[in-house]
Structure 1
């Protein structure tokens, strides 16, 4: 499959990157971790002004009516900057569910409100329900409004996980399609996180010196970073291919989404491991910005389907074909 982003996709990604670069995301994330979500919500408000929140919302409900390709382009940038909050839930899953059961709520979603979703058993908790304007529970194909319980901690301090209980049934939706959108958006986040850690590591090894030389000149360091670059370069076509399959309603969309989720997760995890090795133990301390990316990768690898779950789905599809 040959797939290249056109100039409109590249410009959209650049505009999001510029917005988030100016926001000082490490400071925003640390504030979110401490319970001060105001700076993070302001970032979300600015993203909504660019149309990010309304990407998958139909135009008749004040959205952009975009598709899965636009979604992964945007979410990869949000992952690259480790934006806190229910990214996959707000931008991908909620529009799909609300279009089916409560389209009157879509205009609010497009304007910048946050929505979180629990979809047991693969997604047993609702992420950041304490800051979300709407909490949804997807139980089988049944969608309902839910109430959230006390938060549970995650390895990523920017993620607060809430058990939920059903409060009001809204209707029925295509649960499989909504789940695939959540997994696709999570894969895009992981791709962006991995790319950010590769860039951070590449810059660091040009500055840190041992034996009078920048460590980036050592062959072993070059090999490690090259392996990360290859892994990320190989996962991106799978991500884009999955987005195309979802956009086109392909019967293989589930398989392709799972392949992308596994590949992007593995690449991001490898990027994190190598970043930690080249930075040394200081990279995992809370004072170092790298730790914010490392812990988010660790949390997202198992979010919206564990690697084993997605590998099993790919295997089942291959055997059945």
Structure 2
């Protein structure tokens, strides 16, 4: 299994990173936080014009026809920029599932043009994100994956992340187009990828602060204890990234252990983001918890995504069941078979 990033994939991710750095910085997050809707038509349209909505849509339906591994690279950048628009759910989770289901060409064309937004719903989550603005709902009911047009009103819930819009789930319904497990695994993977970007953003903020904040006449980043904390966070992120990439290729190829790989990715990335949030907060001192410090936007997103699409206990149980149950052989002879 080859999950290395090609030059083209790296260039694509860097281009998206540069674009988002210019149009979706902390000042935009603060502006959105002040808006009741927490959403911006301009931000959404910019993402669409960048081609992100059609990233995984086949070329025949107006998309770019790229792979799930490409999608993971973009999800990392969405997490790094703190993007809360439903582009990840629609373009990186729903789109490949609709492609696999077949017979959804018209909807895929709308996704590519940005005129359709898909809300994702699964029993593992007691909420549905961005239900109020969705054109369709992709939901899991028992063993089936259901697709329906959204109808009715949506009741807003509170979230630890002020930029996430969570609603009481809609009644499941619609036509069965696949299996429910595919939704959970793909959504967990994309959440994990965003956690990598979130963790890297928090680490960068903490590192920059450590270079400028002085104590005892020198930057706090010169102190060994601070260096070690930041280095430990960097190692956790570096170890989690290939796990996420492996899961992307595994799901994209329909590998036998794809579900376990997705759980491993969610577990590793969420643990890395959680640990980095703690480290970044400590480096910032008491200010790390305050609204005045930009860090809190990414920290709250890390907390929110850690429990989305299966929390730590859920995914650890899936991995334990596979390893202890013997369905997933472990060891150097099996790791990359």
TM-score normalised over the length of structure 2 = 0.89
Q: Secondary structure at the residue paired with 1:157? A: coil
Distance 1:284 1:199 in 2: 17
Distance 1:51 1:87 in 2: 11
Distance 1:56 1:274 in 2: 35
CA RMSD in angstroms, aligned pairs only = 1.9
Distance 1:154 1:93 in 2: 21
Distance 1:115 1:51 in 2: 17
Give the counterpart of 1:114 among 107, 110, 117. Answer: 117
2:284 aligned with 1:279: yes
Of 109-118 and 152-161, the range deviating more from structure 2: 109-118
Query: By how many angstroms is 1:27 displaced?
Result: 2.7
Partner of 1:131: 133
Of 226-235 and 45-54, the range deviating more from structure 2: 45-54
Q: Secondary structure at the residue paired with 1:273? A: helix
Gaps in structure 1 of 5+ consecutive residues: none
Partner of 1:290: 295
Q: Secondary structure at the residue paired with 1:164? A: coil
Gaps in structure 2 of 5+ consecutive residues: 328-337
Q: Is the 8 A contact 1:114 1:134 kept in 2?
A: yes
Distance 1:250 1:118, change over 3 A: same
Partner of 2:84: 84
Aligned pairs for 1:195-234 within 5 A: 195-234=200-239
Aligned pairs for 1:57-206 within 5 A: 57-99=57-99, 100=101, 102-112=104-114, 113-120=116-123, 122-140=124-142, 141-145=144-148, 146-147=150-151, 148-166=153-171, 169-206=174-211
Distance 1:24 1:51, change over 3 A: closer
CA shift digits 1:224-276 (9 cap, x unpaired):
00100110111011011111111221011111111011000000111100000
TM-score normalised over the length of structure 1 = 0.93
Distance 1:168 1:261, change over 3 A: closer
Partner of 2:326: 320
Query: By how many angstroms is 1:87 displaced?
Result: 4.2
Partner of 2:334: none
